Amino acid sequence: MTAPSPLLAAMTGAVSGLRPVSLAEVLNEAALQVRIDRKYLVPVNAFITMTDRLRDRFAVLDIDGRRSFNYESVYFDSADHRLYREHVQRRRRRYKVRTRAYLDSGECTFEVKLKGGRSETVKARMPYELADRSDLTPAATEFLRAQLCQEYGVRDQGDLGPTLTTTYRRTTLVDRIDHARLTCDIDLLFHQGGSDEARAVRGPVGAVLVESKTAGRAGAADRVLRDLGIRPIQISKYCVAAALLNPQLPSNPWHRSLRRLRTA
């Protein structure tokens, strides 16, 4: 896992005054498996200001006194990065395939993220063995086929294997009024291949990657960020990581985001 950064202390202080919320409450009130995602690269001072303005309505996920958690995601793609290229081309039927490991608890899920007909994100998941997180098991392959059939009317996903791994620390905030959710990620590290590969590049060291997840219209956090002069950006952990680790790949949709990542 990545070593702690100065961002961790800043984030810990920023959310220290928020009311705690349990994981069960988060899943019950703000699971949002079908949602609209808006992503922001938020400088640390702006993040502190944002949480201060939202403290009357937002709570923070707290598990046994911890408010920052270690995550690892292994992404799967074809050898020629077909899924990545479909995102570059903005194909309507595009999707991502990954395992997500919650390293503090040892839990793991297999997830398929698809783009819905109205540009919403549709996410489906199933429990997964932590030891299998760098592999597509037969059960995961069948789960993926079922999701593609249900959403897109197709079943052939091609030959997929582990392409890259991301690790990061996440703090989750929940809007107690509108039930929207904010995920706040720091200490991002992108690895080539599966979780055992050594080649890696780091994400931003002076900003928080914030994802606002709402049922539709912009939420309270989106409005605060707009007031602070921070606008949504085109960014995907998988696509940005793939572009950073494989400079030969086309990356037109993320040129601006890549520049910001390198200077944040």
> If you search the block for the tokens 């949504």, which residue do you land on?
232
pLDDT at 133 exceeding the cut of 70:
yes
Question: Cβ(163)–Cβ(77) under 8 Å?
Answer: yes
Q: How far apart are CA 165 and CA 189, in angstroms?
A: 8
Q: What is the pLDDT of residue 231?
A: 93
**Could you read off the pLDDT of 147-203 as tens digits, one per residue?**
999 888 876 677 899 999 999 999 999 998 888 889 999 999 998 865 455 578 888
Count of helix runs (H) and strand runs (E) in the chain: 8, 11
Please list the helix, strand and coil fractions of the chain in percent, rounded to the nearest 5, in that order: 30, 35, 35
Higher-confidence residue of 2 and 199: namely: 199
pLDDT band at 26; cut points 50, 70, 90: confident
Assigned CATH for 6-263: 2.40.320.10
Q: What percent of the chain has pLDDT over 90?
A: 56
**Could you read off the pLDDT of 64-92 as tens digits, one per residue?**
999 999 999 999 999 999 999 998 888 88
Q: 125: which strand partners?
A: 111
**Buried b vs exposed e over 250-262: b needs ≥16 C-beta within 10 Å?**
ebebbeebbeebe
User: Taking the domains of the chain in order of start, what are their residue ranges?
Assistant: 6-263
Q: What's the pTM?
A: 0.87
Question: Cβ(44)–Cβ(205) under 8 Å?
Answer: no
pLDDT at 2 exceeding the cut of 50:
no
pLDDT band at 254; cut points 50, 70, 90: confident
Q: What percent of the chain has pLDDT over 70?
A: 90
